[in-house]
């Protein structure tokens, strides 16, 4: 029986693609190495995967004294990961990136374990820049990314099978188009505020189904509006939506592409990130899959104009989505892992 270690975390976007691959790894002994964050919470529902906890360290983009402690904390994380890896003795490590995966990849390299990683975004994040040096193969969601290094292989974004099995929720008693608003597993405060402050206007012509994030949830009673903190059954929310307003993390937008859902992307601004979401959003806009609204132009008038464009061009957008190659990333990545 092949032993495979999965790793990655910090956000759900670093966890669910790894689990999509895990679904296809039949007759394998599966382990997951992560921290005490959202990855541990998600993995608690997967009894067939043994979870191992290590201390993790995150690089802060802002100037802070905490970053001075990173070398010490990272050394501790690597030591802990090395001990766990040697106990498991895996045939291969699959890393989905994020700061959680860095010590596992570094420990794996030092102990000469085979490592396969995956980059979801158009450009490499800091974690995957480090992991690229350690891994044997780096799979990518975008063709353009795969051209940047000889270790890279274009596979597409691994998507869980449940995403394609959603059932439409019976929430609203009208025929208005339904807009799903989401901002990733942690929510998006700026998007939440824009929607909530303009509910009266938006609910005149739309139903609003709003996933706020656990930290930003507010109980609001408004006709044609329904909010939840988090959605375990995200596939049902996708199935209910006619249009989706979202950040531009690669995991979500590739799921929406696969489901042929027109989307309005409001990427995380560069001051709050390395600019990866802006790159993702612009690529989807160029391909005709989405409209993009930048954060500095985020007001109700621009929002309404973008929604009108999506409604007007809905069939054209869906037609372009249909012409994209069917995503078989799970099969490709599984095959690579099984060969290691």
> Over the stretch 131-170, which tens digit does the pLDDT of each residue have?
999 999 999 999 999 999 999 999 999 999 999 999 999 9
pTM: 0.90
Which has the higher per-residue pLDDT, 317 or 12?
317
Q: So what's the pLDDT on residue 31?
A: 98
CATH of the domain at 7: 3.40.50.2000
CA atoms within 13 A on the CB side of 234: 24
Buried b vs exposed e over 205-244: b needs ≥16 C-beta within 10 Å? ebbbbbbbbeebbeeeeeebbbbbeebeebbbbbbbbbbb
Give the three-state DSSP class for 287: coil
- The answer, yes or no, to whether residue 12 has pLDDT greater than 90, is no
Q: Residue 253 region, left (φ>0) first, then alpha (ψ -120 to 50), else beta?
A: alpha
Q: So what's the pLDDT on residue 62?
A: 60
Range of the domain at 198: 164-322
In a domain, 332, yes or no: no
Q: Do 171 and 149 sit in the same domain of this protein?
A: no
- The answer, yes or no, to whether residue 177 has pLDDT greater than 90, is yes
Q: How much is the average pLDDT of 268-293?
A: 90
- Measured in residues, the chain has a length of 340
Strands (E), the chain: 2-7, 28-34, 49-53, 92-95, 114-119, 137-140, 152-154, 178-181, 207-211, 225-228, 243-246, 263-265, 290-292
Q: Do 174 and 315 sit in the same domain of this protein?
A: yes
Q: Do 141 and 13 sit in the same domain of this protein?
A: yes
Q: So what's the pLDDT on residue 258?
A: 94
- R_g over Cα of the chain: 20
Q: Do 183 and 119 sit in the same domain of this protein?
A: no
In a domain, 222, yes or no: yes
């Amino acid at each position: 029986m092949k032993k495979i270690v999965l790793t990655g975390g910090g956000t759900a976007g670093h966890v669910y693609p790894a689990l999509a691959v895990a679904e296809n790894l039949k007759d394998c002994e599966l382990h997951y190495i992560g921290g005490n964050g959202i990855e541990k919470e998600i993995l608690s529902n997967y009894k067939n995967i043994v979870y191992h906890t290590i201390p993790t360290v995150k690089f802060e983009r802002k100037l802070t004294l905490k970053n001075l402690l990173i070398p010490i904390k990272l050394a501790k994380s690597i030591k802990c990961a090395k001990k766990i890896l040697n106990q498991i003795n895996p045939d291969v490590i699959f890393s989905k990136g994020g700061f959680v995966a860095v010590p596992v990849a570094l420990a794996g390299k030092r102990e000469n374990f085979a490592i396969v990683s995956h980059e979801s975004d158009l450009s490499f994040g800091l974690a995957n820049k480090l992991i690229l040096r350690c891994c044997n193969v780096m799979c990518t969601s975008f063709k353009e990314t795969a051209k940047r290094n000889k270790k890279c292989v274009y596979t597409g974004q691994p998507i869980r099978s449940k995403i394609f099995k959603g059932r439409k929720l019976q929430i609203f008693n009208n025929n208005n188009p339904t807009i799903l608003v989401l901002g990733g597993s942690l929510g998006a405060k700026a998007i939440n505020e824009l929607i909530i402050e303009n509910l009266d206007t938006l609910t005149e012509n739309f139903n609003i189904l709003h996933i706020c994030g656990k930290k930003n949830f507010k109980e609001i009673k408004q006709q044609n509006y329904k909010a939840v903190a988090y959605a375990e059954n995200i596939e049902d929310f996708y199935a209910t939506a006619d249009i989706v307003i979202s950040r531009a993390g690669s995991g979500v937008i590739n799921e929406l592409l696969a489901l042929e859902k027109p989307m309005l992307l409001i990427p995380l601004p560069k001051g709050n990130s390395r600019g990866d979401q802006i790159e993702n959003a612009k690529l989807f806009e160029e391909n005709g899959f989405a409209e993009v609204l930048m954060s500095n132009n985020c007001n109700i008038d621009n929002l309404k104009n973008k929604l009108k464009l999506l409604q007007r061009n809905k069939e054209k957008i869906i037609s372009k989505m249909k012409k994209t190659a069917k995503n078989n990333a799970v099969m490709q990545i599984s095959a690579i892992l099984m060969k290691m």
